[in-house]
Every structure is written in C-alpha cells, then in structure tokens.
Chain A
Amino acid sequence: MPIIEASGLAQRFGDRTIFRDVSFTVAAGQVFVLLGGSGCGKSTLMRQLVGLLPPTEGEIAIAGARITGPGAGPALAAARRRFGVMFQSGALFGSLDLLGNVMLPLEMFTDLPRPDRAARASAKLAEVGLADAAGRLPAEISGGMAKRAAIARALALDPPLLFLDEPSAGLDPITAAELDRLILTLRDRRGTSFVVVTHELASILAIGDACLMLDRNAWPDAGGVIAAGPPRVLKAESRHPVVRAFFDRTPLAAEAA
C-alpha cells in the first residue's frame, strides 16, 4: 500500500495559482524526492502533505486514511503520530537546548523516564553528528547544525515516514553525504519512507527511488508537475528542456572552457 496518495492538488494564494493538478503516490519504504526551482511550491506542497495548509483543491491520504477535507481531523491527528517533519528553517524551539528539543516529543508521547528520554535523545543527536552540541541553544549554532538538530527531533519517535525540506542545503559536502547515508540506512534497516526536497544532484541520484519535478511554468497559468519517475530514468531519458537543464547542469568552469 502506498504511504502517501495525492491527487489533483492545487494551491492558490489570492488570485495566484502556485500549482495545480499535482498527483503522485509514494510507496512505503521509498525515498521520494521533490525537485524544482526556488519558489515553485515545494515547501507549499510539503505544508499540504503534513496538514498545515488545506489544499485549495485535491485530496491527500496517508497510509490509506484521507487527511484533507471535511471530517478528516481525527485521521490527520492519527497520521501525525506516524510522521516527523523537518522544516526548511529548522524551526527548533528557541527556549530549549538541542537535547531539550529532541526530548520534547519523547516527553509528550512516551512514558519513558527522564534518564531514558535523555539517552535516546542523545543517541538521535549522535546519529546526525551533533553529539557534542547537545547543550547548545538554537541561537548559538549554525544553520546547518540547526537543520541536523531538526532532523534528530523529527527522528525522536522513530516515525515510519519523514518529511525533510532541503535537509542538505547549507551543509558541507561531507556532512551532506553523511546525511544521505543516514537516510539510506533508515530506509534499508527500518523501512522508513521519506519525502525529501533537495537540489543536490549527487544526492538525488544517490538516494532518490522516485522523484517529482515541479516547475513554475508547467501550465500557461500555473505551476505544476513537469516530470515524474526514478531520477536515473529522468536523467537518461527525459526530453523536457527544464529537466534536461537540471540534470545536465555543468560547473561554470566547464561551460567557459
């Protein structure tokens, strides 16, 4: 059974249509990558998927339960227990240190005693390479560290589904590669499913089982989907000029040469 089914999604703000007719499914245990230029609506789509923004049109089901439309409140609440979210900005709680941030979901949703919670939260921080920053406040760390801490917080309850909005933007290449490895490990060991927004070509090819590419000019009047499929297949076969430009982009130095 697919873990996410989205059909006919559209989002309008005022008289601007960000995207329309966006449909896709994410199979359980898959890393599903969302691609597209900045401002094409990736974060907006993610907000719809996690139930923060009711889509103007269309339906979303998570693990078979519809989370949009009238009467879907309880289904959404149930679905939220099964996914973790990392926002593009990190969205760490500024009043808590990193350990406190990761411990909060454990405190709210488990009966673990405090020392166990702390141990588990430290382990999650270690998984994202922040073992020695547990006592720092969000204001005292870099953007890349904030993102990793946010991933640790999203992992706290070991959810079967994770939404990551640009997890590797602003990370150095080594840390970004470690993050990719973490994603693959979770997918292969635990069967965790992922929806990941990313621009890193190497990362997309390394971790993406399937991808969806959005573009602002997919329709004459709105953005939407311009390509869907496994990233390797798109790279090899797509004829769409925007998709080609994305996969064939070359370093400026090479272009100049």
Chain B
Amino acid sequence: MPGRRISPRLAAAFAAATGGLVFIGALVTALVRLPANRRQFRLSDVAREAEQAGFRALPLVLLLGALIGLILAFQSAIPMRRFGADIFVANLVSVSLLRELGPLLSAVILSGRTGSAFAAELGTMKVNQELDALEVMGLDPVTLLVLPRMAATLLVTPVLTLMMDAAGLIGMTLVMVGFGYSEPAIQAQVQQAASAADLAGGLAKAAVFGAVVAAIGCRAGLATGNGPRAVGLAATAAVVGGIVATILLDGAFAMLFYRLGW
C-alpha cells in the first residue's frame, strides 16, 4: 500500500515511546505484585548494588563536590569583592549546592557510572538469553533485576548528594578562609542562608533522580537489540537518557518547589 507507509524514523520514535510506556507498565505491575513475589526481590541484591553504586562512587563524588565548591566560591568571590560583599559567597555557594548542584551532579555521576553499568549488565543478560531463561522459569526480570537496582540507587543517591554537599561546603570554606574570613563567620553565614528545608528538598530530588536514572539504565539494558554493538549502544542510551531525564525532572521540581513556596 504505497502512500500509507510511515517514515521509518517516525516508526522508530513511536516504538521507543510505546516501549517506554510498556516498561512503566511492567514496573507498576511488578510493584503491585511485589507482596506476592517477595522472594524474587532479594535484599542481598539491593545491598550489592548499593555498594557498587554508592560506596564505590564516593571518591569521585567527594572530588567533584570539593572542586565545585572551590571553583564556585573563587569565581563568585571576584565580582562580589568589588561590592565588598564577598562574605555572601557563602550564601550563594551553600544554597546552590544544597538545592541544585549537589543533587544534579550526583545524578549525572550516577548516570555515567551506574546507569551505564545497569544497561550493560542487563543488555549482556539479554544477549545471552539469560532473560529468556528467567522468563521460562516463571521469574519476572523486572522484580528480580530492576526493582533491586532502583531501590539501591533510591537509597544511595541522597547519601551521595549529602557527601557532595559536604565536600562542596568544605571547598568553599577553604577559599573563604583564604580570603581572610574566620570559620565561625562562614558557618554563621551558611546557617543564615540555607535552611534544613533546602537540604531536605535537595535530598528528596536526589532520591527521585536516583530511581529514575536506574530505571532508565535498566530499561536500556532490557531493550538491547541484536548484534555486536547492541550492548554498547544500550549503555550510551542509558547515560544520555539518564542525564536528560535528570535535567527535565530538575526543571519540574523547580516549578513544583516554587508553587509550594519551598
């Protein structure tokens, strides 16, 4: 039927969209059935993934956090100094770290380290027919493989964010001390600028980012195609998808928090 052909690109986009919806459906189904399928959700898997995604990411998170704190403080101190306002660097850095940069950068690190690893692991399992083997045993790959990974990153990302925040504040403090401010003065400034609500909002965002990055990584792995490059493509899709989703969600959170006056 010529003339009724839709373009292959459109068809691919449509397939990707429906695939995503089907995956969300499978996630919801797995969550609803979780009480009945408790055995397939193994806490030892959650612990192992949490160690991989969390503990092993700590050096990178601390390094990046400290550098961001240092750079932000140093860069903003230069213009603010001209107005004699450089003590407010502490306000600026602490609020932007706790509310935005901590959760965002933690989620970016998670996408690069963990989202890609999930995609590669599950993609390799798919290529090796391990997922088929699970299915014919009557086991649900989503409950057995995806939910523990999501649970692990949901738990671990707020902790990573907290570490990133702390490292950033230390970096900022180093710069401020270098400019001649005393530690208590800086601390007082931070406490005045940033509230517990800022911290809590940032950590809540981080938890959501963590679960979503894991879900996107797992979905990329489960959707792995055939051929020698498929697993690599899945890992790439996981990183790109994780970062894009994090940015979009961050925007959504900004609007939500604004509405809530948070």
* Residues on A facing B (Cβ under 8 Å): 47, 50-52, 77, 80-81, 83, 85, 87, 89, 91-94, 104-105, 107-109
Contacts and interface: CB of A to CB of B under 8 A. Distances in A.
Interface stretch (B4-12, B84-92, B130-138, B191-199): B130-138
B129 interface: yes
A77 B139 CA distance: 10
Contact of A89 (B39, B128, B136, B139): B128
A77 B125 CA distance: 22
B124 interface: yes
Contacts of A50: 136
A85 B40 contact: no
B125 A94 contact: yes
A50 B129 CA distance: 14
A72 to B, nearest CB: 14
Contact of B133 (A77, A83, A93): A93
A108 B39 contact: yes
Main secondary structure of the interface of B (DSSP, over half): helix
A85 B124 contact: no
B147 to A, nearest CB: 15
Contact of A108 (B129, B130, B139): B139
B136 A85 contact: yes
A149 to B, nearest CB: 12
A52 B137 contact: no
B141 to A, nearest CB: 11
28 contacts: A47-B132, A50-B136, A52-B135, A52-B136, A80-B136, A80-B137, A83-B136, A85-B133, A85-B136, A87-B129, A87-B132, A89-B129, A91-B128, A91-B129, A91-B130, A91-B132, A91-B133, A92-B133, A93-B125, A93-B130, A93-B133, A94-B125, A94-B130, A104-B137, A105-B137, A107-B39, A108-B40, A109-B138
A105 B125 CA distance: 17
Contacts of A77: 138
Q: How large is the interface on B (under 10, 10 to 19, 20 to 34, 35 or more residues)?
A: 10 to 19
Contacts of A52: 132, 135-136
Nearest to B139: A108
A77 B136 CA distance: 9
Given A85-B136, A91-B129, 8 more contacts: A52-B136, A83-B136, A87-B132, A89-B128, A91-B130, A91-B133, A93-B125, A108-B39
A104 B133 CA distance: 11
Given A107-B39, A108-B39, A51 B128 contact: no
A94 B39 contact: no
Contacts of A108: 39-40, 137, 139
Query: Among the interface residues A50, A81, A107, A108, which one has the most CB atoms of the partner chain B within 10 A?
Result: A108
A207 to B, nearest CB: 22
Interface string B37-68: 00110000000000000000000000000000
B221 to A, nearest CB: 13
A209 to B, nearest CB: 23
Nearest to B129: A91
A85 B39 CA distance: 21
Contacts of A94: 124-125, 128, 130
A83 B138 CA distance: 10
